[in-house]
Structure 1
């Protein structure tokens, strides 16, 4: 009899602690409301480059996340899925930029055989373009951190989990010092290009690891469109250096990405603290637009290529601080390089 009582107590204690553990994974009601409203922003309908994410031994589609309500019971799962979907989309963008920069670097190497001066200018432009990516990385890291803050246990305290893009985004910011130093170093152009190649290879390896969470759509077609456009301009005798053409295209891609995957998703940037926050509530107009026809809104995604050439600059400039290049001299040099080396 005494043994049975002891066993019952042990069972009840196990159930009690299991209950406590389960309850501990629930989030707050106010956090669930904020995440729910955040996922109702129309900009989420335009995240169309991620087909699936892998989370919790299952595959998930974005439409299920943005259409199903967020509650205090599923809030933490929704937060992790949101970070994965956005992180995968960011990874896709960085993968394309890394691919473009690799082609850029190869072109600079090829110029060494014909003209050292052109190879030098190509390399300087490439370095400035790599530095220009840093503010975008800061935006993306701020966005993922802003979402993560609403999780019961943030990923910063989950030491065993290295979440998507965390290492890559940190490395890109830290590499800015190295890239800036390379611009003024006494190294040969060949040595500088070799160092750039090593940086891009390291980034590619990081991206391949992060993309294991994702099933993505390929952006190679955008690169092919760029090359077709460049060849067309050349045939029309509107020739310019390929590295200047690529520099402009990459800049447009960066601006489009920040607008589409930061501003349009409703993230709020505090210029005083340089921190990113989630909107506390959804505007009435956003609720109305989604309520009209959520399925149609999801299907009618913004075409990725079309947005490249139709950036509305007045929308971008509402967030001037997050788009700045910290070294003003770099931006001036970009313009000067373009003016000096365009061949009419």
Structure 2
């Protein structure tokens, strides 16, 4: 049923958007699009070779380098929207496998050592809600912002059915789902429920990613587990400590650094601007400078947004998520 919904989303998105004949773009639209492509990040999308739309292959390099005629502007915006979607999905694929490995650690630990297993689960929730969710929100905003350069009523309809956008939105909604049955140190079953839910969520996400990328994205060959494998090798080579809590803190730091890199290279350097007041993403316009910097504050001392109920009778669990 889950995959059926996926293919339904794909059909609607590509039927309405990609097969809709586009009128010539306004000069203002073409100028903004040309200006956006001057941002350095577009030339660094080297992980993606091409995308397929309407049974036609579009090579990323050609989309960026070849000058855009106003009759082809809307088509190129469509294609590049799918390009960044593919890039984002690739990251979600890798980080989901990292989450899966951490999940397995927590599942094993909670059966062997309840207290440390619960702490592991809390750290996993922290990683999802305060590191991954904010990033996927920016990614979804970037996709919508690029699409919004061309004003089209059918676009607004089809955006709701864009498979990649829906995938990113699902990550954004995980906080609400997890809070539905908040972790409670008075009720250990909530920890088991949370681990089982995240396990199911990751499995569905990986299945959806596989379906989407097989149809639309052609990547340079890569190892989907390279993030996790590289971090484990680095830990074993430089940190002489067998305590799993130390390893988890190391991995959390690596995830945070990786998230910051993705924001810089695949968001800011593509010309996307985040408005902290409205919490919306905008594509840079002719009035915006090319050189943009954004410091994303992720406060390590801030407790996780996820609710964790405590009581005086469970003082042995009184360990914060920082």
Q: TM-score range by the shorter chain?
A: 0.7 to 0.9
Distance in 1 between the 2:89 and 2:157 partners? 23
Q: Please name the residue that 1:85 is paired with.
A: 83
Q: Please name the residue that 1:198 is paired with.
A: 200
Kindly state the Cα deviation for residue 85 of structure 1 after the two structures are TM-superposed: 0.8
Taking a change above 3 Å as real, the CA distance of residues 282 and 221 of structure 1, as seen in their structure-2 partners, is farther
Q: Please name the residue that 1:54 is paired with.
A: 52
Kindly state the Cα deviation for residue 216 of structure 1 after the two structures are TM-superposed: 2.1
- CA RMSD after TM alignment: 3.0
- Rg bigger for which structure? 1
Q: Decide which moves more: 46-55 or 186-195.
A: 186-195
Matches within 5 A, 1:279-298: 279-281=284-286
Taking a change above 3 Å as real, the CA distance of residues 173 and 324 of structure 1, as seen in their structure-2 partners, is farther
Kindly state the Cα deviation for residue 87 of structure 1 after the two structures are TM-superposed: 0.3
Q: Of the candidates 194, 213, 218, which is equivalent to residue 216 of structure 2?
A: 213
Kindly state the Cα deviation for residue 54 of structure 1 after the two structures are TM-superposed: 0.9
Distance in 2 between the 1:197 and 1:92 partners? 19
Q: Please name the residue that 2:174 is paired with.
A: 175
Distance in 1 between the 2:242 and 2:193 partners? 32
Q: Please name the residue that 1:138 is paired with.
A: 137
Q: Please name the residue that 2:157 is paired with.
A: 157
Distance in 2 between the 1:125 and 1:285 partners? 37
After superposition, the C-alpha distances for 1:200-254 in whole angstroms (9 at most, x for unaligned) are: 11222222232221012424323221110122234x3485523222222212211
Taking a change above 3 Å as real, the CA distance of residues 209 and 285 of structure 1, as seen in their structure-2 partners, is closer
Distance in 2 between the 1:86 and 1:106 partners? 30
Q: Of the candidates 110, 113, 118, which is equivalent to residue 112 of structure 1?
A: 110
Where 1:136 maps in the other structure, the secondary structure is helix
Distance in 1 between the 2:205 and 2:299 partners? 23
Distance in 2 between the 1:84 and 1:230 partners? 36
Q: Of the candidates 330, 333, 336, which is equivalent to residue 304 of structure 2?
A: 330
Kindly state the Cα deviation for residue 42 of structure 1 after the two structures are TM-superposed: 1.1
- 2:245 maps to 1:246: no
Kindly state the Cα deviation for residue 134 of structure 1 after the two structures are TM-superposed: 1.4
Q: Please name the residue that 2:10 is paired with.
A: none
Distance in 2 between the 1:331 and 1:190 partners? 19
* Residue pair 2:123, 2:321 contacting (<8 A) in 1 also: no
Distance in 2 between the 1:62 and 1:316 partners? 26
* Residue pair 1:49, 1:216 contacting (<8 A) in 2 also: yes
Q: Of the candidates 14, 24, 40, which is equivalent to residue 42 of structure 1?
A: 40
After superposition, the C-alpha distances for 1:106-145 in whole angstroms (9 at most, x for unaligned) are: 1111113431111111111001111121111111111111
Gaps of 5+ in 2: 1-19, 309-318
Where 1:73 maps in the other structure, the secondary structure is coil
Figure out how many residues of one structure are paired with residues of the other and give that number: 283
Runs of 4+ in 1 over 4 A off after TM superposition: 237-240, 282-286, 336-339
Taking a change above 3 Å as real, the CA distance of residues 115 and 315 of structure 1, as seen in their structure-2 partners, is farther
After superposition, the C-alpha distances for 1:283-337 in whole angstroms (9 at most, x for unaligned) are: 8988xxxxxxxxxxxxxxxxxxxxxxxxxxx9541x55xx689x9431899xx65
* Residue pair 2:178, 2:194 contacting (<8 A) in 1 also: no
Distance in 2 between the 1:40 and 1:123 partners? 43
Distance in 1 between the 2:207 and 2:51 partners? 19
TM-score (norm 1): 0.73
Q: Please name the residue that 1:290 is paired with.
A: none
Where 2:267 maps in the other structure, the secondary structure is helix
